């Protein structure tokens, strides 16, 4: 029998991480060799534990799962990446694949199917949630510029245009222009609606 597939788990929710570890450990050909709760712990732990496959959450402190994927693929090219997330957002899938992930599935995937996804990724295949793949093709890439994205990210916390301008070191007029453009591109009714739509599509991931 060949050696079991070595798996690293990265998720900031300890209960979720523990549940995934327990489920995967039931499979004879899989062994969980490391668990971390932050994105910036992925590469150091991977260097130590030498996993074959890393299961990364998208939204983590330190580094998000997309940035952690980039860092891990650069540091350990032989380690394959399967993004496992609660947030099945089209923009996340697109960015994960562009970052070098080998697969993307949502956390409510049945345990047996998740284990099979690990095996398939380890074998060099791509694994993508089919519903999300269809949504991603339909949605397309983010229409927002980097600056419009930054303004919407800042707007998530609320505040006035003056507050946003101070936080971003921009003039109030520039902030208004970017907000107006972002509202138009997302099809939102107002600023809050534009933030909601961009969030749902996974266009606001990052700092």
Q: Which domains does the chain have, with CATH numbers?
A: 5-139 (3.40.50.2300), 146-200 (1.10.10.10)
For residue 135, the model assigns a pLDDT of 63
For residue 21, the model assigns a pLDDT of 93
pTM summary value:
0.67
For residue 88, the model assigns a pLDDT of 65
Category of 171 on φ-ψ map: left (φ > 0), alpha (ψ -120 to 50) or beta? beta
For residue 137, the model assigns a pLDDT of 55
Cβ pair 71, 42 in contact under 8 A: yes
For residue 119, the model assigns a pLDDT of 95
For residue 184, the model assigns a pLDDT of 85
For residue 140, the model assigns a pLDDT of 61
List, in order, residues 6 or more apart from 117 with CB less than 8 Å away: 82, 103, 105, 109, 127
Residues of the chain with pLDDT under 50: none
For residue 29, the model assigns a pLDDT of 95
């Amino acid at each position: 029998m060949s050696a079991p597939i070595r798996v690293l788990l990265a998720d900031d929710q300890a209960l979720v991480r523990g549940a995934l570890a327990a489920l995967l450990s039931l499979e004879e050909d899989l062994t969980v060799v490391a668990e971390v709760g932050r994105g910036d712990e992925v590469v150091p732990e991977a260097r130590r534990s030498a996993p074959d496959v890393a299961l990364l959450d998208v939204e983590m402190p330190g580094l998000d799962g997309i940035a952690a994927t980039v860092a891990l693929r650069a540091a350990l090219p032989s380690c394959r990446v399967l993004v496992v997330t609660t947030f099945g957002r089209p923009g996340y899938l697109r960015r994960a694949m562009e970052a070098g992930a080998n697969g993307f599935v949502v956390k409510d995937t049945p345990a047996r199917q998740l284990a099979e996804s690990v095996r398939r990724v380890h074998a060099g295949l791509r694994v993508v949630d089919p519903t999300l793949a269809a949504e991603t093709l339909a949605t397309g890439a983010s229409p927002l510029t980097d600056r419009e994205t930054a303004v919407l990210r800042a707007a998530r916390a609320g505040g006035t245009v003056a507050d946003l301008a101070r936080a971003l070191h921009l003039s109030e007029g520039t902030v208004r222009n970017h907000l107006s453009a972002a509202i138009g591109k997302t099809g939102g009714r107002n600023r809050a609606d534009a933030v909601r739509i961009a969030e749902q599509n996974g266009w606001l991931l990052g700092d």
